[in-house]
């Protein structure tokens, strides 16, 4: 387990979304606090592990779409999480070997693994930045970002399973706007966000109570609120849909229901 490899100074007594997500995905990079938080949320949302797998599958489908259909060969992935199979650069570099990716996360544990595992093939490049989504100016002003990505050409901005950790909706929309405004025309935003739109009234009430009590840190958004992130962008394909329904690769009867997953997804293009 991760207890043996904790970076010096890392607070392991508090759950972190990246490590909890890793726990749900079946990884090994988590601590007792992350497992306890994950188990508590799973007790209310029994299909949460299915949710994170579907969210991960959307990340990979959207990157494949952006690389193959839109010709995107550079990505900014904020809220990277702990590396697992088929990370952004691996998916994109199968299509464009020269793809460049900047990964961003605020968990030191992610940094330790990212620098070792998020390694580009020789034609491309990957860089990891220890920054926080809540400080978009620090991300955009980081010299390594501009050294790695060409802001004269379209960029794919990935905000997958990270926006729901910004509880204030005005702040969240302002953050997204600042990031999107910095991107050139023809760039894309791919994002997901937890929702209670498809939950039963009982489960929705329990989930909200957990958030109010500080036992859950993922804040739900309605379809309309999620749509605010894409203001001014042209939505691609099906628009805003449950995450399993965005350009799915399996038949309808084999996909999980919106109630089971509870996540919205969309991809939008900047004019």
Over residues 29-67, the pLDDT tens digits come to: 788 888 887 787 777 777 778 888 899 999 999 999 999
Cα 138 off chain centre by: 19
Residue 130: CB atoms within 10 A of its CB come to 15
Longest C-alpha distance within the chain, in Å? 52
User: Pick the residue with more confidence: 68 or 21?
Assistant: 68
What is d(CA 112, CA 3) in angstroms, rounded to the nearest whole number? 14
Which residues are paired to 78 by β-bridges?
104
DSSP conformation class of 232: T
Of the pLDDT bands very low, low, confident and very high (cuts 50, 70, 90), residue 69 is: very high
Average pLDDT over every residue of 259-264 = 94
CB 94 within 8 A of CB 85: no
What does CATH list as the number for 2-269? 3.40.50.150
pLDDT per residue as tens digits for the range 70-80: 999 999 999 98
For 271, how many CA atoms within 13 A lie in the half-sphere containing its CB? 5
**Which of 33, 79, 70, 15 is CA-nearest to residue 187?**
70
Give the pairing type, strands 241-242 and 263-269: antiparallel
Place of tokens 């494949």: 64
User: Strand runs (DSSP E) across 4-107, as ranges?
Assistant: 74-78, 100-105
Q: State the chain's mean pLDDT as an integer.
A: 89
pTM of the model: 0.88
pLDDT tier, 1 (very low <50, low <70, confident <90, very high otherwise): very low
**Direct distance between the N- and C-terminal alpha carbons of the chain, in angstroms, rounded to an integer:** 46
Q: Give yes or no for residue 103 having a pLDDT over 70.
A: yes
C-alpha Rg value of the chain to the nearest Å = 18
The confidence score (pLDDT) of residue 9 equals 56
Sort 78 into a burial class: Cβ within 10 Å, 0-12 / 13-18 / 19+: buried
pLDDT band for 116, please (50, 70, 90 cuts): low
Structural contact between residues 76 and 194, judged by C-beta atoms closer than 8 angstroms: no
Cα separation, 161 vs 80, in Å, equals: 9
pLDDT tens, 146-166? 999 999 999 999 999 999 999
Whether 149 contacts 155, CB under 8 Å: yes
Q: Is the pLDDT of residue 178 over 50?
A: yes
Ramachandran area for residue 168 (φ above 0: left; ψ -120 to 50: alpha; else beta): beta
Question: Band of the pLDDT at 4, cuts 50, 70, 90?
Answer: very low
Dihedral of CA atoms 27, 248, 17, 222 in degrees, nearest 10, equals -160
- CA 233 to centroid of chain Cα atoms: 19
Q: What pLDDT score does 5 carry?
A: 53
Domain ranges of the chain: 2-269
């Amino acid at each position: 387990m991760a207890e043996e490899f904790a970076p010096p100074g890392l607070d392991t007594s508090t759950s972190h979304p990246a490590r909890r997500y890793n726990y749900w995905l079946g990884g090994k990079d988590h601590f007792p606090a992350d497992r306890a938080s994950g188990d508590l949320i799973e007790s209310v949302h029994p299909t949460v592990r299915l949710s994170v797998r579907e969210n991960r599958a959307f990340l990979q489908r959207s990157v494949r779409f952006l690389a193959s259909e839109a010709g995107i060969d550079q990505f900014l992935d904020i809220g990277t999480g702990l590396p697992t199979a088929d990370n952004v650069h691996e998916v994109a570099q199968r299509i464009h070997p020269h793809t460049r990716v900047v990964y961003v996360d605020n968990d030191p544990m992610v940094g330790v693994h990212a620098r070792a595992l998020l390694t580009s093939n020789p034609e491309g490049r990957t860089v990891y930045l220890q920054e926080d989504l809540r400080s978009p100016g620090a991300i955009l002003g980081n010299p390594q970002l501009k050294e790695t990505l060409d802001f004269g050409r379209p960029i794919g901005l990935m905000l997958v399973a990270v926006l729901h950790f910004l509880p204030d909706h005005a702040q969240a929309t302002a953050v997204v706007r600042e990031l999107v405004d910095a991107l050139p025309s023809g760039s894309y935003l791919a994002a997901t966000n937890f929702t209670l739109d498809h939950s039963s009234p009982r489960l929705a009430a329990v989930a909200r109570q957990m958030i109010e009590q500080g036992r859950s840190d993922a804040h739900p958004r309605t379809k309309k609120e999620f749509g605010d992130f894409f203001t001014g962008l042209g939505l691609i394909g099906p628009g805003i849909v449950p995450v399993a329904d965005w350009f799915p690769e399996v038949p309808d009867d084999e996909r999980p229901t919106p109630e089971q997953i509870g996540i919205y997804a969309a991809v939008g293009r900047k004019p």
